[in-house]
Chain A
Amino acid sequence: MILIHCPYCDEQRPGLEFAYAGEAHIARPADPSALSDEEWERFLFIRANPRGRHHERWRHIHGCARFFNAVRDTVSDKFELTYKAGEPRK
């Protein structure tokens, strides 16, 4: 079982308490009607899907229920760090 550190609870907890919420730092467009088809495609569908360091969102659903961001290695599944939502990309 993976262990995840919740930056709000400041505790290392089992992965069962958390829900994965997709790639992090995908900003919702400020002016959606101005977007071209290419920009919509990139926003909605294109994902980094890296083999290695991945920025992703998690939610401590069975704890504080808050969203936060994490950096995880997708080959070893090991978490490098987690940080609060709203903080810049690390």
Chain B
Amino acid sequence: MVRFSGLSLFAKALGNHQSWPELWPDAQPKPAYDAVIVGAGGHGLGAAYYLAKKYGITKVAVIEKGWLGGGNTGRNTTIVRSNYLYDESAHLYDHAVKLWDGLSQDLNFNVMYSKRGVMMLAHNVHDIQSFQRHIHANRLNGVDNEWLTPEQAKEYCPPLDISPEARYPVLGAALQRRGGTARHDSVAWGYARAASALGVDIIQNCMVTGIRRGADGAVEGVETTRGYIATKKVGVSAAGNTSVVMRMAGLDFPLESYPLQALVSEPVKPVFPCVVMSNTVHAYISQSDKGELVIGAGTDQYVSYSQRGALHIVEHTLAAICEIFPMFRRMRMLRNWGGIVDVTPDRSPILGKTPVPGLYVNCGWGTGGFKATPGAGDLLAYTIAKDEPHPINAPFNLDRFRGGRLIDEAAAAAVAH
């Protein structure tokens, strides 16, 4: 691996940039590994990277049924924030935000993490009370979040219409300054390159078709479309397909998979400085470095694996954006797409061990998994290496649906997640 630096850039420039090597080799499956990660999205690649880097477990394969970063890693709206209400969630998501901070340096790959701020608009008295409660709870947990008056919100985000005549008047906003965006593909590529350099095999177009278990019930290996791979530890990070993979091990999961759509506009000059979310009007928006407005909202209503949704959901989202930002009414949309998100009953992830020895799971991130990428990878690696959850992800166990200790962010975080 060639380290990226000013010097290497200069040296390669002398050769017209013709001699850059590939970022990572396309590996072939070997007969056995110490650990296998199912799913080469940001979370899975991150787990492989931290397994190799922090715990010295380098005989690791990441197997992926499609192409690397082609699932929800490549389909999200790239927002990073950690202003969650409950202690458990605040610790979990803030663990990720702390890792985002040094990620480009750590990976020697620019993930373009931009702390441009995430602003949540309050349109009614309930919003004001709910956001201020969030702000106080966040501050007690060491997560930055502050209240802005409409004037301050306008100063931070000039496109905002704060006139009392607006269809949805802005009565204030909650701002997390450390929140922002990152380049989603770069995250997958950066983790893949760094993990591969440490000896991890990244195997694409290799679907898991079965999980083999021994007489004691423990994992012995995985059957794939490219042959059998023996391993004692399997970490599943398969997002919308988690239910399918888990059933191979005989486990029924409290998950449902829904399409979540997003869309981008034609690229325009910089007009939008931060991320703005409105739970009440039900949409969120930011501008990518390429200039496209990146827009998203809630899921479609029915269970599906089709990676596309209904047009009326998109129409509803755009109507909401035009209500809040009338200046975008004449923008043309360039493309829209859908990803399949795995949703838990309490809208909090499941990250930890399973009843099957040697089988670990990282799922249930629903509509908000991208922001947690480095944290989820780190914690899944810890859980696999130590065979026990880290204190941060211990509350996000599978048993909570039996014991009743839910982490009910669905009620707390309103719609956008």
* A residues at B contact (CB < 8 Å): 1-2, 15-16, 19-20, 23, 37-38, 40-42, 44-51, 54, 56, 72, 74-77
Contact = CB atoms under 8 A, between A and B. Distances in A.
Given A46-B254, A51-B241, A37 B306 contact: no
Most chain B CB neighbours (cut-off 10 Å) among A2, A42, A51, A75: A51
Interface stretch (B180-188, B210-218, B296-304): B296-304
A44 B305 contact: no
B386 interface: no
A54 B253 contact: no
Most chain B CB neighbours (cut-off 10 Å) among A37, A38, A41, A75: A41
A41 B253 CA distance: 10
Nearest to A45: B254
B265 interface: no
Interface in B95-117: none
Most chain B CB neighbours (cut-off 10 Å) among A23, A56, A77: A77
Contact of A44 (B241, B306, B345): B345
Interface size class of B (residues with CB under 8 A): 20 to 34
Interface of B: 241, 243-244, 252-257, 301-306, 310-312, 345, 401-404
Contacts of B301: 19-20
B401 A56 contact: no
A15 B312 CA distance: 10
A55 to B, nearest CB: 11
A72 B403 CA distance: 33
Nearest to B402: A41
A49 B257 contact: yes
A50 B302 CA distance: 12
Nearest to A2: B310
Nearest to A38: B402
A49 B401 contact: no
A66 to B, nearest CB: 18
A20 B256 contact: no
Contact of B402 (A19, A37, A54, A75): A37
B209 to A, nearest CB: 13
Contacts of A56: 302-303
Contacts of A20: 301-302
Contacts of A19: 301
B62 to A, nearest CB: 21
B203 to A, nearest CB: 21
Nearest to A76: B306
A49 B241 CA distance: 9
Nearest to B304: A74
A76 B305 CA distance: 8
Given A37-B403, A41-B402, A49 B306 contact: no
16 contacts: A20-B301, A23-B256, A38-B402, A40-B402, A41-B402, A44-B401, A46-B252, A46-B254, A48-B243, A49-B255, A50-B244, A54-B303, A74-B257, A77-B302, A77-B304, A77-B306
Nearest to B241: A51
